[in-house]
Amino acid sequence: MKILVMGSGGVGGLFGGRLASAGCDVTFVARGAHLAAMREHGLLIESETLGNTLIKPVKVTDDPTSAGIPDLIIFAVKLWDTEAVARALKPIVGLHTAVLSLQNGVVKDDILGGIFGVNALMGGVAYVGTHISRPGVINQVGTLQRLVFGEYDGRKTERAEALLAMLLKAGIQAELSNDIRRTLWEKYTFLVGLAGATASMRSSIGPVRENPQTRAFLHDLMKEAVAVGRASGVALPADYADDRLKFADSVPATMDSSLHHDLRSGNRLEVEWLAGGVVQLGKKVDVSTPCNRAVWDVLALQAGGKSR
């Protein structure tokens, strides 16, 4: 299987790197200093708990069309780039090319399906704590590297089974979902809480979950997401936020969100699609979302990044 990783940041770099280290044919798309470092030094995945992994040489380019028609595209760009990047990729999406988005949020595949066609899409969610620590280097916090994906019609197709086998070979905890829309909302619920709390409080998850007041706010962020999902027809249990709060207690205290990392780095923020997404979707189904509205408002002045 020929794989193209579109977006070689924390998520794309980690999963693409694990697949490449297991012998898969992976081409990464990167830009700027990250691209230059990967070309010269390879791609390094740093992990205190799992050990470091160096992929060298690494196949990397700034022009995805130069890689030919892939069997699978792992789509991992920032949400605001989704439509523009997808249109640029359209010429290399062949009749049998699968597109698997590992982006945040729950509306990403609606955009991609409108460009590539729904038959090209597999839904997917990634559970991992990563970020680019410096050009050419992905830093992973903790041991979690889980990927849940599946076809939107729930079938176990040949392409899904083939990808599952490759992911397992690469040491990734991979699973097939027969209700990928619910799976996306399960991830979204936790991410909304993690991102909203860590970014608005400028803290990793440990202090947030230990303080009664901030813990309650984290819980409320997730409860609002569950309420909006259920009102939108997603089969989430009514007490699912309680389950996710318990999960938050199980992750490393140093676990952070990409939203908080981007805030510290002065990068553009995905808050419009995370806390803002809950607010906007909540309005459509008449569900009140004051805590997520607070996060969106608090981060509004930083949402465009320092360069804006």
The pLDDT tens digits of the residues spanning 184-207 come to: 999 999 999 999 999 999 999 999
The answer to whether the bond into 57 is cis (omega within 30° of 0) is: yes
Instruction: Specify which residues 296 forms β-bridges with.
Output: none
Fold of 182-302: N-(1-d-carboxylethyl)-l-norvaline Dehydrogenase; domain 2 (1.10.1040)
CA angle (233 as vertex; 229, 238 as ends), nearest 5: 55
Chain CA centroid to CA 106, Å = 11
Architecture of domain 2-178: 3-Layer(aba) Sandwich (3.40)
Whether pLDDT at 154 is above 60 = yes
CA angle (147 as vertex; 142, 153 as ends), nearest 5: 160
| Entry pTM | 0.86
Whether pLDDT at 48 is above 90 = no
Task: Output the pLDDT for position 210.
Answer: 98
| Cα dihedral 200, 76, 44, 160 in deg (nearest 10) | 130
Q: Please state the domain extents for the chain.
A: 2-178, 182-302
Whether pLDDT at 107 is above 90 = no
Helix ranges restricted to H, the chain: 10-21, 32-41, 82-89, 108-116, 158-169, 180-201, 205-210, 212-231, 240-250, 258-265, 275-284, 290-298
User: How far apart, in whole angstroms, are the C-alpha atoms of residue 64 and residue 5?
Assistant: 9
SS (H, E, C) 2-38: EEEEECCCHHHHHHHHHHHHCCCEEEEECCHHHHHHH
pLDDT confidence bin for 131, thresholds 50/70/90: confident
| Cα dihedral 276, 277, 280, 282 in deg (nearest 10) | -110
Amino acid at the residue 205: I
